[in-house]
Amino acid sequence: MASYLIRQRLLENKQLDLQTAFDQANALDLAQKNSEAYRMPEIPTTAAVSSPPTDEVAEAHALDYDSLAATFTSKKCYFCGDNLHNRRSCPARNSNCNNCGKKGHYAKVCKSKAPSITTASMFTPTLCSIVASCPESLKQASVKVSIGGIELTALIDSGSSESFISETMARKLSLKLHPSTQKISMALTSFKTQILGHCFTDIVINQLSYSSIRLGVLKDLCSDIILGQDFQKKHKRVTIEFGGTRPELVIPRPACPLSSTASIEEPSLFGNLLPECKPIASRSRRFSKEDQEFINQEVTKLLSEGIIEPTITPWRAQIVVSKDPSNRHKKRLCIDYSQTINQYTELDAYPLPRIDDMINNLAQYKVFSTFDLKSAYHQVPIKESDRKFTGFEANGKLYQFCRIPFGVTNGVAAFQRAMDNFVDEENLNDTFPYLDNITVAGRDQKEHDVNVQAFHEAVQRRNLTLNESKSIESKTSINVLGYRVGNGVIAPDEERLRPLQDFPPPENKAALSAFNRLKKELEGATLHSIDETLPFVVESDASDVALSATLNQGGRPVAFMSRTLQSSELHYPAVEKEAMAIIEAVRKWRHFLAGRHFTLKTDQRSVAFMFDSRKRTKIKNNKMQDWRLELASFSYTVEHRPGKDNVAPDSFTRAFTSSMSTSEGLMGIHTALSHPGVTRMLHFIRSKNLPYSTQDVKKTCSSCRACAELKPQFCRQQAGVLIKKLRSGRSRWNN
């Protein structure tokens, strides 16, 4: 609408609504930009006016279409291709182009049929032209390059995500072609083309040599070579001299790291659907105003990054707003596919790397680096035919994913396959991918640095984004996948055995009994060995004050987990504590459990029922609903068993409580706090995270006759000193 000529054309209509005006303006603008046979006319004005006229000058002259059209150097209408005539009588005025679908011109003059160049190339006449060398208007952005002693013209395109070479030049240079099915999108995403393949070659520019540059092969390229951002990122800065008078314009680095799709072959997420698969539209959920605002923010962010798009799919999953496991005060946007497509998806059997083999191979090296991919799934595109299955509702609108979403059944297998192909295609040496964690190693510092440099270059070529805060470089020993590897030694990660090492010494009969049960369970167990051929079993338990779990194989534990409950967690109902123990265990051992079937065992029957993935249950508890959704991407069987058989995890949750919960200790606290009564004593115990149950406190207070005679005096300072002594074992509360 900023163009005077387009506004003048729109005024020719007697009646015009907003949509029609937009369509006509878009068609006029597209036709003007793609016209090579004509140029924009200069508006005739008085001799005193040497610059293009303003709107006021044009209105003063009251120029009509005929007077403007007479200034064109050609006598052909660029809307229909016939002799120049008034726009009102143009037969293409109300016609739709059969090529691009736009209104206002015929397909025979449409310039949109030129093949796409890059994912971000701007739609300009010269760039879309099919010529043997770089267009004249882009000479300033071109440079001479040499391949095999032959001089070619390369276009420096900052809007292209990748580099390309024309098919003619690739054949002339006898470059080896690697087949590819990758599709390239133009700036207008409705236009796409498919590359013929890719090749690797050495390039020389201004006496600088570049080895093994990856070039996609395209037909009818507008230059011999296009050097995109994957090549330009090798330099700190690429400067093109235009000779303008204004100072240098510096484009800052983009704030959004996931706005570009990784250049990785699209995996198939839903190739294993059951024959009875049919669309499911889940019932809409209601959210608070705060959650609705959060959903709008997240959806807007995903749309701007190209991760999702609007759709008309018959599939509709629902959003669940949950807490981030790494930050309990931060919300996460999750999609509940357990009620839709996951019900009809069979497991993709693509294997994850064997952890024991991977660790044994890493032990041969001396220097290590580990890299973590940021929002890893959301970097990998999916097939267009698979997108409809990922449909979900957000605040009354329907969207679908363009990249791998979290929570689908075969997301793990598809992502691991993509990472394995990435390492193979880029010929990366001593590189070990395990889902979003990639370890690069070397037998010495020099070999390690070469491998890391090759990895960084491959990451830039494929538009992958690393999480710098979780990446570690050049270490002689690292913790990876539950092991400590370094200096030729393999040892279990200290965190796997910490609960066992911190097991408190028994101080009474109950604690001694728990210790003996655990000892019997561990007899003959090899704690540092994990056999990838055996299935995993997760056993969990929760008490009033602690959570615990063991990871078992072949009836023997291979890893342990335990922690005390904090603040509000102490007030959770028993069923939520038992469920939280399962979730904490799965999060901790995700690298062992992802991509393979395992068994969950709990002594809480209601938790076993609600977490059973084979049952469609309506859960009204928000925490349980979020946790069930978190488990949806795993393949597992949940089993209930009596508490008397839950020996190992039960020992960890009861040990500390048993060793501390003595009537002597409780009575000492009760007396030291001046007989505060049940309420105040319970508040104090919970504020100090002491392992006493409500029943023990009530029993202690009810047996104290002084409570009926003395007024409660609550001295926090005195109580803090006394409780510190009790914990350190320096006082038995006798005075």
3-state SS assignment for residue 451: helix
Residues 674 and 647 in one domain: no
Mean pLDDT of the region 673-697: 69
Residue pLDDT, tens place only, 165-215: 888 888 888 888 877 766 676 655 455 677 788 888 888 888 888 887 888
Residues 645 and 687 in one domain: no
Residues 668 and 537 in one domain: no
Residue 105 lies in a domain: no
> In sequence order, which residues have a C-beta less than 8 Å from that of residue 659 and are 6 or more positions away?
504, 505, 506, 507, 508, 511
Residue-level pLDDT at 438: 93
Quick one: what percent of the chain has pLDDT higher than 70?
A: 68
Alpha-carbon dihedral angle through residues 375, 377, 378, 379, given to the nearest 10 degrees: 90
Q: 568 φ, ψ to 5°?
A: -65, -20
pLDDT surpasses 90 at 149: no
Residues 483 and 610 in one domain: no
Q: Is 255 left (phi over 0), alpha (psi -120 to 50) or beta?
A: alpha
pLDDT surpasses 50 at 67: no
Residues 18 and 151 in one domain: no
Mean pLDDT of the region 335-348: 88
Mean pLDDT of the region 588-596: 80
Residue 96 lies in a domain: no
- Comparing 46-60, 322-336, 378-392, 572-586, the range with the smallest average pLDDT is 46-60
Kindly indicate the confidence band of residue 37, based on its pLDDT and cuts at 50, 70 and 90: very low
Residue 193 lies in a domain: yes
pLDDT surpasses 80 at 425: yes
Q: 363 φ, ψ to 5°?
A: -65, -15
| Global confidence as pTM | 0.50
Residues 667 and 637 in one domain: no
- Comparing 53-57, 178-182, 356-360, 688-692, the range with the smallest average pLDDT is 53-57
Residue 330 lies in a domain: yes
Rg (CA), the chain: 34
Residue-level pLDDT at 525: 46
Is the pLDDT higher at 291 or at 236?
A: 291
Q: For all residues of the chain together, what is the average pLDDT? A: 75
Residues 390 and 467 in one domain: yes
What distance in Å separates the CA atoms of residue 495 and residue 559, rounded to the nearest whole number?
9
Is the pLDDT higher at 116 or at 481?
A: 481
Contact 123, 187 (CB under 8 A): yes
Residues 451 and 474 in one domain: yes
Residue-level pLDDT at 150: 86
- Comparing 225-239, 350-364, 638-652, the range with the smallest average pLDDT is 638-652
Residue pLDDT, tens place only, 471-513: 888 898 888 887 888 877 888 777 766 666 666 666 666 666 6
Indicate which CATH number applies to the domain containing 330. Answer: 3.30.70.270
> In sequence order, which residues have a C-beta less than 8 Å from that of residue 194 and are 6 or more positions away?
181, 182, 183, 184
pLDDT surpasses 80 at 589: yes
Q: How many residues does the chain have?
A: 735
pLDDT surpasses 70 at 161: yes
Residue-level pLDDT at 555: 76
Total count of domains within the chain: 5
DSSP assignment of 170-188 equals HHHTTPPPBP---EEE-SS
Residue-level pLDDT at 439: 93
Is the pLDDT higher at 363 or at 193?
A: 363
Residues 638 and 696 in one domain: no
Contact 160, 229 (CB under 8 A): yes
> In sequence order, which residues have a C-beta less than 8 Å from that of residue 566 and are 6 or more positions away?
689
What distance in Å separates the CA atoms of residue 369 and residue 654, rounded to the nearest whole number?
40
Residue-level pLDDT at 512: 65
Which of 541, 578, 579, 577 lies closest to 562, judged by CA? Answer: 541
What distance in Å separates the CA atoms of residue 477 and residue 63, rounded to the nearest whole number?
78
Residue 284 lies in a domain: no
Is the pLDDT higher at 233 or at 272?
A: 272
Residue 125 lies in a domain: no
Residues 463 and 327 in one domain: yes
Residue-level pLDDT at 123: 32
Residue-level pLDDT at 59: 41
What distance in Å separates the CA atoms of residue 484 and residue 436, rounded to the nearest whole number?
19
Indicate which CATH number applies to the domain containing 541. Answer: 3.30.420.10
Residues 398 and 478 in one domain: yes
Residue-level pLDDT at 351: 87
Residue pLDDT, tens place only, 599-630: 998 888 888 888 876 666 667 677 787 888 78
Kindly indicate the confidence band of residue 312, based on its pLDDT and cuts at 50, 70 and 90: very high
Residue pLDDT, tens place only, 662-677: 445 677 777 777 677 7
Is the pLDDT higher at 234 or at 577?
A: 577
Residue 725 lies in a domain: no
Residue-level pLDDT at 326: 61
**Domain enclosing residue 687, as ranges:** 663-705
35-40 long-range contacts, CB within 8 A, separation 24+: 35/78, 35/111, 35/125, 36/111, 36/125, 36/126, 36/129, 37/74, 37/76, 37/78, 38/72, 38/73, 38/74, 38/76, 38/78, 39/73, 40/5
Residues 296 and 439 in one domain: yes
Quick one: what percent of the chain has pLDDT higher than 90?
A: 11
Kindly indicate the confidence band of residue 48, based on its pLDDT and cuts at 50, 70 and 90: very low
Residue-level pLDDT at 98: 66
Residue 153 lies in a domain: yes
Kindly indicate the confidence band of residue 113, based on its pLDDT and cuts at 50, 70 and 90: very low
Mean pLDDT of the region 370-395: 90
> In sequence order, which residues have a C-beta less than 8 Å from that of residue 632 and are 6 or more positions away?
336, 337, 338, 342, 407, 613
Strand ranges in 611-711 using DSSP code E only, listed in sequence order: 635-640
Indicate which CATH number applies to the domain containing 196. Answer: 2.40.70.10
pLDDT surpasses 80 at 259: no
